[in-house]
Amino acid sequence: MYLTEYDHEQTLQGTYEVGVEDGMAKGMAEANRKTARAMLAKGMDEELVSECTSLPVDEVRKLKMV
């Protein structure tokens, strides 16, 4: 089976979009962790940090230990 130029372009575009979405999700998760660390450093409650950052409480607790 041969890929036409159009099929090749579509495949590349799809791969690019998946990569961008993955990168955005990773960047947002890291930003949430950074915010959580700052909130914890200010003495905020783990539950509140979890609620504000949408991170699971377990992950917030792990950040507190680091």
Residue 22's pLDDT is what? 92
With a cut of 50, list the residues of the chain below it in pLDDT.
none
Residue 14's pLDDT is what? 84
Backbone angles phi, psi at 32, to 5 degrees: -65, -40
Residue 38's pLDDT is what? 97
Residue 28's pLDDT is what? 95
